[in-house]
Amino acid sequence: MAVPALTFAQEATVISVPAPSTVYHPLTPLEKAERRALNVIAPETLFTSSFSAGIGQLRDKPPQWGEGAEGFGRRLADAEGYVAVHDAIAFGVDVSFHLDPRYRRMPEARFVPRLRNAITQTFLANKDSGGRMINVSVIGGNLGAGMVSSAWEPRGYNSVGDGLSRGAFGIGYDVVRNVFREFGPDLRHPSGHASSGKVSVLEAAFTGR
């Protein structure tokens, strides 16, 4: 089974939970589209796609894709294809269900609540108007990408079970990614606070802010 390459930049934005007095502005459909599209070519995505392709190369899976530069290229395209399909599905869900793809940090909380926040946001999405619902973007995006990618996987790696396995792996990876989103900025900002300065859409997609 080819390992789906997701990324810590997936969904392209990390924000801190605003104070009650803060006016929160939801993203427009165009802003959501920009973040989803830029994620596919973000450095973190390309790195993790390359890493996934390298692992597949070492394991010689799928063996039909061979070795050498051609084999690596196929595996890289496979990983990037997964990300592209995931983000296309997730964008449609974001707009249809009015979901906010941005991860919301809790930098002021203690470790356990923050860890719970990271895990919870994998399965519960924040809505543009407030409140939460099942995170169809993550769940549907991964399962959909896992199934669609079966279209280019070789025999022995393209069954329904293979597609569901790729999707399930992707969901599990999203849990790890959200934990990094929650605690990763602390490594760059020892005080536990991410920079509050405004950033462009391009920078947000490339840095995960």
- Amino acid occupying residue 106: M
> Who contacts 139 (Cβ-Cβ below 8 Å, separation ≥6)?
123, 171
Say what the pLDDT of residue 187 is: 84
Average pLDDT, integer, range 62-84: 96
- 91-100, 139-148, 186-195: the lowest-pLDDT one: 186-195
Output the CA angle 119-124-125, nearest 5 degrees. Answer: 115
Query: What pLDDT score was predicted for residue 190?
Result: 63
What is the band of 75 on the pLDDT scale with cuts at 50, 70, 90? very high
Contact by Cβ (8 Å): 119, 176: no
**pLDDT at 205 (0 to 100):** 43
Q: Report the run of H or E that residue 78 belongs to, with start and end.
A: helix 68-97
pTM for the model stands at 0.79
pLDDT tens, residue by residue, 81-117: 999 999 999 999 999 999 999 999 999 999 999 999 9
Provide the pLDDT confidence category of residue 4 given band limits of 50, 70 and 90: low
Strand bridging mode 124-127 / 132-134:
antiparallel
Per-residue model confidence (pLDDT) at position 206: 40
Is the alpha carbon torsion for 182, 187, 188, 190 positive or negative? Answer: positive
Contacts of 29 (CB under 8 A, 6+ apart): 95
Residue 28's pLDDT band, with cuts at 50, 70 and 90, is: very high
**Residue-level pLDDT at 208:** 44
| Confidence category of residue 25, pLDDT binned at 50, 70, 90 | confident
% pLDDT > 70, the chain: 78
- Find tokens 């084999």 and name the residue: 71
Task: Tell me if 161 sits within 8 A of 97, measured CB to CB.
Answer: no
Which carries the bigger pLDDT value, residue 172 or residue 16?
Answer: 172
CA angle (142 as vertex; 116, 28 as ends), nearest 5: 80
| Residue 75 or 25, more confident | 75
- Is residue 16 scored above 80 in pLDDT? no
Q: What is the average pLDDT value for the chain, to the nearest integer?
A: 85
pLDDT exceeds 70 at position 3: no
